[in-house]
Structure 1
Amino acid sequence: MIKGVLFDLDDTLYNSSEFARRARKEALKAMMDAGLHTSEEEAEKVLNRIILQKGSNYSMHFNDLVKALKGYHDPKIIATGIITYHNVKFSLLRPFPDTTSSLINLKSKGLKLGILTDGVTLKQWEKLIRLSICPFFDEVITSEEFGLGKPYPEFFQHGLNKMDLKPEEVVYVGDREDRDIIPAKSLGMKTVRIFKGKYSDNKETIADYSINSLSELPIIVEKL
């Protein structure tokens, strides 16, 4: 019997990739207006390389970008980038259209709901609060809190422990095959792959179920 649902956050409950892309683009334009003498294409190429090397949760992307392009840290340009990025991203931040109604549906069934996400704890909580969906969740578990993140099965087991649930009692929902579906399935959870975000083009999956919209999830849970 299913007693709980664990969700990934980014690109599962909201369009993280698209919001971040648009925010970075506007931040680069503002930095160039503030004195970063380069082309938009070159700035984007260098920034993408830094993100690939340091990861999306690294906090000094714009610092490294300015250092790479100017040879030194220019605080005015760095601050312009940071402020513009956050202003644009948070002005756009909203759940997928069917996220809230699906969470209401699942919660009405008496299920425990949790978030299992890589990232800095305060930043992930900020997203949930800005998305206006944090009241739905009984637990929010982050990689920073645990010390390990995805795809380590220990992280997923930690999430189960915090929710006081067994693997066979939980449905796990995520957008990535390697970091979500494979480790969750290895522990015995029922898995649902949602085709959203930048990894959605790869349709190959070992998930028990695949969906294009969160509105499909309550039907699956009801069957289980």
Structure 2
Amino acid sequence: MIKAVFFDIDDTLYDTSGFAKLARRAALNVMVDAGLPLSTDEAYKILREIIDEYGSNYDKHFNVLTKRIFGEEKPLLIALGMITYHNVKFALLRLFPQTTATLIYLKKQGYDLGVISNGITIKQWEKLIRLDLHHFFDHVITSEEAGAEKPDKHIFECALEKMECDAEKCVMIGNKFSEDILGAVNIGMSAILVNSELKESEKEYIKENCIKIDVISHIGELKDIL
């Protein structure tokens, strides 16, 4: 019997991908207007390369961008980019339609709720607070805190220890097969993939390794499984 339910945050509880691109392009538009000697499309291409190189949780993408273009950091442009990015991001921050109702339902059913997320601890808490979700979760475990990123077993072990629950009594909900689903399954937890479709290679892996997971199209379907 499942006693604890863990969630990923980005693209699981709310739409990260939808707003991130818009916020970044808005920031670059302002930077271009203020003197960045590129078109927004050209700057966005470089920014994407920087994000891929440093990771999405790195907090100095605009610093690196200006240094690559000018050979040195440009504080004014960096500040303009950062402020615009955060203003647009928070303006567009929206939960998936059934997130709050599902969390309320799970709490009423007596489940302990937690978060397992790759990222910086303060940033992850900031997201949950701005989304007004922080009060639902008993524990929030981040890769910064655990010293390991999903799918590494250690971050899941930290989560189980904090929740004081055995792996077989826990389920992980996430949108990334390799990080959320395999990470959970490899430690003995159940797993549910949400807001994502399995690739053919992933289907083959599941079949070859006799892995049992559930796949749902939106978070509201958890009510029918748990």
TM-score (structure 2 length as normaliser): 0.93
2:220 alignment partner in structure 1 = 215
Matches of residues 1-224 of structure 1 in structure 2 within 5 Å? 1-196=1-196, 200=197, 202=199, 204-205=202-203, 206=206, 208-221=213-226
With over 3 angstroms needed to count, the CA separation of the structure-2 counterparts of 1:94 and 1:155, relative to structure 1, is same
Q: 1:201 to 1:220 in 2, by over 3 A?
A: closer
- 4+ residue runs over 3 A deviation: 200-207
1:203-224 CA-partner distances (Å, limit 9, x unpaired)? 7454510011101012111xxx
RMSD: 1.3
CA contact (8 A) 1:14 1:95 kept: yes
Tell me the matched-pair count. 218
Counterparts of 1:219 and 1:139, CA distance in 2 = 24
Kept after mapping to 2: 8 A contact 1:8/1:175: yes
Q: Is the 8 A contact 2:167 2:187 kept in 1?
A: yes
Q: Distance in 1 between matches of 2:198 and 2:76?
A: 39
Q: Which runs of 5+ in 1 are unaligned?
A: none
For 2:115 and 2:75, the matched residues in 1 are separated by 35
Q: Contact 1:195–1:201 (CA<8 Å) still a contact in 2? A: no
Q: How far apart, CA to CA, are the structure 1 residues paired with 2:147 and 2:153?
A: 13
* Contact 1:119 1:143 survives alignment (8 Å): yes
Q: For the structure 1 residues 23 and 202, does the alpha-carbon distance in structure 2 shift closer, same or farther, using more than 3 Å as the test?
A: farther
Shift of 1:19: 1.5
**CA distance in structure 1 between the aligned counterparts of 2:132 and 2:97, rounded to whole angstroms:** 13
Separation (CA, whole Å) in 1 of partners of 2:198 and 2:221? 19
Q: Percent identity?
A: 49
1:69 and 1:201 mapped to 2: Cα distance? Answer: 39
